[in-house]
Amino acid sequence: MAISSFGDNLTVLIQCENQLLDHWLAYASWYSVNTNLPHALVKILVKRTEDNNPYFSWASRRDVNCYRHCGNIVQDIIDRNKYADRPYLIIRPYMMAIREFDNGWLNILNDEKGAIIGDDIEFWNNSEENKSYGSDNLCVDTTESEITTFVRYSDFGNFVCSEWINKRVPFVRKIKSKTINEKKAIYLWNRAHATIDL
């Protein structure tokens, strides 16, 4: 079955560390995927630590499956389909889906042997023999003007990620944007802020 521009037949896995920063960044990431790829199934994968912090408690309130793992999740998925059936897309919590999939994305996602292996994003389709695509234009920084589905951020506008790590309600409302990607990410942040109950 084909993956659609709204994420039909696709599982999106948000790969996180067990820390406060990823707790709320993953919420923004989930919110963006839920808004722009509403037919995708989203799951949260958290690396298990000895801390018993109640991070990611928002996931159960949003009916999002949250799995805690000890090892290499990509290998677990490939070897045993442990967390998701193929096809699946793995993203990081500092990424947002700011628009639906375009034709460039859909050509890769619907290639039976398609795979993307990058620093920020990984995709595996239904085949064991994968044809690898580059990830350069599939996820760009918010400061770039290139049109794509996913953006990553560490700082944008007057938001500096490292300064917000321990904030209880991290989403800032007044951020000045420079690019269309920043504008879309900020819009989603403001909308996420109105729904958050971390």
3-state DSSP of 84-143: CCCCEEEECCCEEECCCCCHHHHHHHCCCCEEEECCCCEEECCCCCCEEECCCCCEEECC
Least confident segment among 4-13, 31-40, 101-110, 189-198: 189-198
Range of the domain at 114: 11-195
pLDDT recorded at residue 125: 78
Instruction: Pick the most confident of 85-89, 147-151, 163-167.
Output: 147-151
Would 122 be classed as within a structural domain? yes
Q: What is the C-alpha separation between 136 and 16, in angstroms, rounded?
A: 22
**Looking at per-residue confidence, does 168 or 120 come out higher?**
120
Q: Is residue 5 part of a domain?
A: no
| pTM recorded for the entire structure | 0.86
CATH assignment of the domain containing 45? 3.90.550
> What percent of the chain is predicted at pLDDT more than 90?
24
Q: pLDDT band at residue 12, thresholds of 50, 70 and 90?
A: very high
**Which pLDDT does position 98 carry in this prediction?**
95
DSSP assignment, residue 4? Answer: P
**What percent of the chain is modeled with pLDDT above 70?**
72
* Contacting residues for 60 by C-beta, under 8 A, at least 6 apart: 66
Angle at 119 between CA 27 and CA 124, to 5 degrees: 80
pLDDT of 184 over the 80 cut = yes
Q: For 34-44, how does the pLDDT look when each residue is reduced to its tens digit (9 = 90+)? A: 999 999 999 99
Burial annotation 153-174 (CB, 10 A radius, 16+ → b, else e): beebbebeeeebeeeeebbeee
CA–CA separation, 99 and 33 (whole Å): 9
Structure tokens at 156: 């944008």
Query: Is 29 a domain residue?
Result: yes
In a domain, 69, yes or no: yes
Region 30-56: mean pLDDT is 88
Six token digits for residue 65:
């499956």
What's the number of domains the chain is made of? Answer: 1
- Look at residue 192 and give its three-state secondary structure: helix
Query: Is 85 a domain residue?
Result: yes
